[in-house]
Chain A
Amino acid sequence: MGWLLVNGMSVALNGEKSLLEVVRNAGVDLPTLCYHPELSLHGACRLCMVEVEGRGVVAACHTPPESGMVVNTNSAVLRRLRKIALELLLSRHDRECTSCLRSGHCSLQDLSNRFGVSDLRFKQERSEHLPIDRSSILVRDPNKCILCGECVRMCGEIQGIGVYGFAHRGAKMQVTTAFQQDLANTDCVHCGQCAAICPTGALTIKPQVDQAWRALNDPTKTVVFQVAPAVRVSLGEEFGMTPGESTMGQLISALRTLGADKVFDTAFAADLTVLEETEEFLERVSSGERLPQFTSCCPAWVKYAEQFYPEFLPHLSSCRSPQQMMGSLIKKFYAKRLEKGPEDIYMISVMPCTAKKFEASREEFTTDGVPDVDLVLTTQELARMIKEAGIDYVNLPETPPDRPFGFVTGAGVIFGVTGGVSEAVLRLGYERITQSELEDVVFEDVRGYSGMRKWEVDLGGQSLTLGVVHGLANAKAVLDDLKAGKVHFDLIEVMACPGGCIGGAGQPISNVSRKVRQERGAGLYHDDVVTAVHKSQQNPDVLEIYEEWLTAPGSHTAHEALHTTYRERGSLWNGRAGVGSKA
């Protein structure tokens, strides 16, 4: 493949697409603000400039590497140009860092530190303060936008929606929604990936920490927490631990220290989901109706389907997501056990996800005016509470969750990673269809991180086609193929975020890195290995709930408590606007 010289050091080319990759692989961390390896190239920030002998200064992200190139990354000219580029970006940026939620995780702030920007030569250019959009679960502050376009490409290319675009021209250019609408009035599905990838504080998650403190300090409320699978393998990152390191024990201790009365594990509700969803699936397989069945655990995907593919809504599993199953269990069943009314219990979910906030607010999940889940905190928000309380997270002793909704199986835990729901369903489906015990619980073929995986499984002579997709643009491609009759599936798992819930937008900011996501995924699979029970159908506490309350999977009571309905939502203009395949 050839060689080139980076700062006098010879570097072998291994099929890298850009000079930027070559330079970074050679150990030089060229600064960028608009480059992301999973998105298309933009080339706007001009920070990755390098000097190539015979060509002068070029943007490394846009320059294909060629054998024999002599590259300098650190000349006096480059340092001067980079600093000017950075200072010009800063001149348009609202630099109220102390009150910015992104402070400490802001790429612009990092680079200012790296470049030693102490004195800005360019005056603050913005004279007027643009309005901040707080209409949605995200907060969009255009005064902090540096026009890198990462949100535009994330929403258009990875999620296939295209809520954002560049509008106007030159100095008046803005990243904004169509017609400058508030986010709440767009086709946004609340996946929050735009906020996860935003290098500054222009897009952040609207904080709800105060509501959590208020409930914890209210003596009349019994505060019950549930913690989603993906949170345990990422929260530690906020405290300097490695991604994927499972800290469920510390997490539970931290919640108890913060004042939680009970702490349960959402993976328990995931086990319940497996039983309900598999029952539903096997019924559909035997009747041949409404196949393929789509999973319904991901609220961003559910809203996407409601907006853009309402014809597939009957195909969605009617199962509530694990978060809402847990909420239902707590408010309708557990409250009685505590001899309390549902309004006396304050249910807080800790989720890797921003769309879960939207899901909890859906009217389908409110009974007689009392929401099943009162508040959803993201992993980031819980980390902030732990920091505010001054808890030494890393050295906390481990404590187990409360019973009865604390006993979980490995099948429930792997719900947090793409392919996990399918694998958990298979561990039950195999036994139900073949009427024999499943020895090896690992379905290796379902695992992995490619955006679309298709797999045929033979269960006792019955052949089933399974699909696993993550990233809504991938889901869109499958849905279009299904509509055109080009493909056949029996079961399709959809998760909106890259990597599944482990890559959710509520996770610590580093989740935009594929490597970090995969380490978190490995953490969940490891948790599955070290958990005593691997099959949801063997969760004794789940079985007990059925005996005591729900009778059987798919029963009338189970349907009342654990299932839901969907509704067609007109997208913007009641049409099918968001189809950003070409955005």
Chain B
Amino acid sequence: MWIDKIFTNESKGVTPMDRTVLDVETTETDFDPGFLEGVLAETGTSTAALIPILQAIQGKYRHLSQEAIHHVASALRLSTATVYGVATFYAQFSLEPKGKYVIKVCDGTACHVRGSIPVYDALRKRVNLQDGRSTTDNRMYTVETVACLGACVLAPVITINDQVYGHVTPDAVNIIIDTLEQEGAQHD
């Protein structure tokens, strides 16, 4: 795992941004069965291919729509309820569209004791998430906790899409989001 950004307690405000805004595809809402056919050509239609297929759809559409789940069930000759069960079992799948930036706040033991919950709360406050929802109305941000990212030395640690941020503080959260938004504005 490579580490892009490290916020240390001593260096609050330092934003060594060396990459431009994350390359995320624009939201696609309508499920395209042709896309599934392409995936199936790679994975085959055995039951064992179910999770890779769902991952591919989740990757492209940022969620698994009812239509997508139905199409997968038909293709694999599984019942829709079975595929729905798999889709709801794993945290990596989402039935609701996720935000452009998926922010995972590690809440493993090390991160927890080093203050991950204040970071999480600060994130939710900053992007204005309420009532237990995890994705903002404009589908820019999804904020969720994960059990352990395996980078305890950087605790508390968060990831935004594929980038890792270590030693995050509630103050640093604002800087990170500011930067994302500035870059987003430049990008547009």
Query: In chain A between 158 and 210, which residues have their CB closer than 8 angstroms to a CB of chain B?
Result: 161-169, 176-179
Cross-interface CB contact of A167 among B74, B78, B85, cutoff 8 Å:
B85
Determine if B88 is an interface residue (Cβ-Cβ < 8 Å): yes
Residue contacts A-B, CB under 8 angstroms, 18 given: A156-B82, A162-B78, A165-B81, A165-B85, A166-B89, A169-B88, A178-B69, A179-B69, A573-B70, A575-B74, A579-B74, A579-B78, A579-B79, A580-B78, A582-B76, A582-B78, A583-B79, A583-B81
Q: What 0/1 readout, one digit per residue, does chain B (43-72) give for beta carbons within 8 Å of chain A? A: 000010000000000000000001101110
Scoring B67, B77, B85 by chain A CB atoms within 10 A of each residue's CB, the highest score goes to B85
Contact between B79 and A168 (Cβ–Cβ < 8 Å)?
no
Known: A178-B79, A583-B79. A165 touches B84 (CB 8 A): yes
**Secondary structure call for the B interface:** helix
Query: Residues of B contacting A178 with CB < 8 Å?
Result: 69, 73, 79-81, 83-84
Scoring B69, B79, B88 by chain A CB atoms within 10 A of each residue's CB, the highest score goes to B79
Closest to A177 in B: B81
Q: What 0/1 readout, one digit per residue, does chain A (428-445) give for beta carbons within 8 Å of chain B? A: 000000000000000000
Contact between A166 and B85 (Cβ–Cβ < 8 Å)?
yes
List 19 other contacts, CB 8 Å, given A178-B79, A577-B74. A152-B81, A156-B82, A163-B79, A166-B89, A167-B84, A167-B85, A167-B88, A167-B89, A169-B89, A573-B67, A573-B80, A575-B74, A578-B79, A579-B79, A580-B79, A580-B82, A581-B77, A582-B78, A583-B79
Contact between A575 and B70 (Cβ–Cβ < 8 Å)?
yes
**Min CB gap A334→B, angstroms:** 44
Scoring B77, B78, B80, B89 by chain A CB atoms within 10 A of each residue's CB, the highest score goes to B80
Query: Residues of A contacting B67 with CB < 8 Å?
Result: 573
Cross-interface CB contact of B77 among A167, A177, A572, A582, cutoff 8 Å:
A582
Contact between B81 and A163 (Cβ–Cβ < 8 Å)?
yes
Query: Residues of A contacting B81 with CB < 8 Å?
Result: 152, 162-165, 167, 176-178, 583
Name A residues whose Cβ lies closer than 8 Å to a Cβ of B: 152, 156, 161-169, 176-179, 572-573, 575-583
Name B residues whose Cβ lies closer than 8 Å to a Cβ of A: 47, 66-67, 69-71, 73-74, 76-85, 88-89, 95
Query: Residues of B contacting A179 with CB < 8 Å?
Result: 66, 69, 80, 84, 95
**Min CB gap A164→B, angstroms:** 6
**Min CB gap B165→A, angstroms:** 28
**Min CB gap B146→A, angstroms:** 14
Closest to A162 in B: B79
Contact between A578 and B80 (Cβ–Cβ < 8 Å)?
yes
**Min CB gap A166→B, angstroms:** 5
Contact between B80 and A572 (Cβ–Cβ < 8 Å)?
yes
Query: Residues of A contacting B89 with CB < 8 Å?
Result: 166-169
Query: Residues of B contacting A164 with CB < 8 Å?
Result: 81
Query: Residues of B contacting A583 with CB < 8 Å?
Result: 78-79, 81-82
Whole-angstrom distance between the alpha carbons of A72 and B21 in the complex? 65
Query: Residues of B contacting A578 with CB < 8 Å?
Result: 79-80
Closest to A578 in B: B79
Query: Residues of A contacting B95 with CB < 8 Å?
Result: 179
Query: Residues of A contacting B85 with CB < 8 Å?
Result: 165-167
Query: Residues of B contacting A579 with CB < 8 Å?
Result: 74, 77-79
Whole-angstrom distance between the alpha carbons of A168 and B161 in the complex? 24
Closest to A573 in B: B70
Closest to B47 in A: A582
Query: Residues of A contacting B79 with CB < 8 Å?
Result: 156, 161-163, 165, 178, 577-580, 583
Contact between A577 and B84 (Cβ–Cβ < 8 Å)?
no
